[in-house]
Amino acid sequence: MKTLTTAAELHAFTEQARAAGQRLGLVPTMGALHEGHLQLVRAAGQDCDVVIATIFVNPTQFNNPDDFRLYPRVPEADAELLRAAGCTALFLPSAEEMYPQPAVLRFDFGPLERVMEGAHRPGHFNGVATVVSKLFHLARPHRAYFGQKDWQQVAIIRQLVADLSFDLELVAAPTIREADGLAMSSRNRRLRLAARAVAPRLHEVLQAAALQVKGGVGAAQVQAEALTALAQEPAITPEYFEVADAQTLQPLQQYEPGRAVVLCLAAHLDGVRLIDNVVVEP
Ligand code: PAF
């Protein structure tokens, strides 16, 4: 596996592969890799000739300086995992390389970003869209792979691809969970034992709410009961729980026949902010 650290190296490498007729898969990450990331790499390996994983803890998408500072950084261990998963090249740039000058362009995704993560983390999706656009321009992948744990991020990137006519296929892969249901996340490494023990409650509450949605319980009641259930755990501080249309992400008052519903939450456990979601198909 090659390690590339400059934008010029990445660009040259991917252009050469393209010119040789190879199909390129891009897996953008912020590192501290887990099985969810590795499954994206393996999926890319099955679909494409060349797999490029990127590891960059993107400062512009963090609205909380502590979250940025404490974000786990283990590039050597990550590189080993990527190599074993069949990755062809790792792009590991510095902040100066990705942002030789501060970006002034601002993205506005309208209603898609006025809810959930966008509402609770001002500027977050601007930072995500900025760095993902840069990566798409530099690598010009045929396919780009993202995890559905970040449901809203996938929706935003889908909009980005459509609005800016990026010539690539977006692949969204299902959330990978630990045996007890906790969604895999790089931030899970920061959970201490007591918080880790209660963390599966997040998925349990989502599952219970999904059953209620399937049973026709109204969205407001589902939301209220889920928030109460989360708040009953002293170690969990819920930030939001939304019952939303799975495509538009807008909160629902009532369910529309034939449309999927997504249940999304964010919560704090021992100073660590986690998100998760489940989709209820019609
Ligand atoms: O999902 C992530 O890890 C990040 O938001 C991404 C897509 C790599 C952009 O920094």
Q: Residues 181-201: pLDDT tens digits?
A: 999 999 999 999 999 999 999
Ligand 1 atom showing the smallest separation from residue 61 Cα:
10
Complete DSSP assignment for 103-138:
-------GGGGSSHHHHHSTTHHHHHHHHHHHHHHH
Q: What is the pLDDT of residue 43?
A: 98
CA end-to-end span of the chain: 43
Ligand 1 atom showing the smallest separation from residue 150 Cα:
1
Q: What is the pLDDT of residues 72-127, one digit of tens each?
A: 999 999 999 999 999 999 999 999 999 999 999 999 999 999 999 999 999 999 99
Q: Which of 37, 124, 142, 203 does the annotation list as catalytic?
A: 37
**How far does CA 83 lie from the centroid of its chain?**
22
Q: What is the pLDDT of residues 138-175, one digit of tens each?
A: 999 999 999 999 999 999 999 999 999 999 999 999 99
Query: 3-class SS at 280?
Result: strand
Query: 3-class SS at 69?
Result: helix
Q: Whose CA is nearest to atom 6 of ligand 1?
A: 29
Q: What is the pLDDT of residue 278?
A: 98
CA angle 29, 33, 37 (to 5 degrees): 65
Ligand 1 atom showing the smallest separation from residue 29 Cα:
8
Q: What is the pLDDT of residues 220-253, one digit of tens each?
A: 999 999 999 999 999 999 999 999 999 999 999 9
Q: What is the pLDDT of residue 49?
A: 98
DSSP state of 147: E
Q: Cα(139)–Cα(215) distance, rounded to whole angstroms?
A: 46
Q: Is 268 a catalytic residue?
A: no
- What six digits make up the tokens of 66? 């502590």
Query: Ligand 1: which of 41, 58, 160 to mutate, judged by most atoms within 8 Å of the beta carbon?
Result: 58
Ligand 1 interacting residues, C-beta cut-off 6 A: 28-30, 58, 61, 128, 131-132, 150, 153
**Region 203-212: what's the mean pLDDT?**
98
Q: What is the pLDDT of residue 178?
A: 98
Query: Ligand 1: which of 99, 150, 170 to mutate, judged by most atoms within 8 Å of the beta carbon?
Result: 150
Q: Cα(250)–Cα(210) distance, rounded to whole angstroms?
A: 17
Q: What is the pLDDT of residues 19-71, one digit of tens each?
A: 999 999 999 999 999 999 999 999 999 999 999 999 999 999 999 999 999 99
Please give the helix or strand (H or E) that residue 225 lies within, else none: helix 219-231
CA of 256 to the centre of ligand 1 (A): 31
pTM value is 0.97
Q: Cα(230)–Cα(205) distance, rounded to whole angstroms?
A: 7
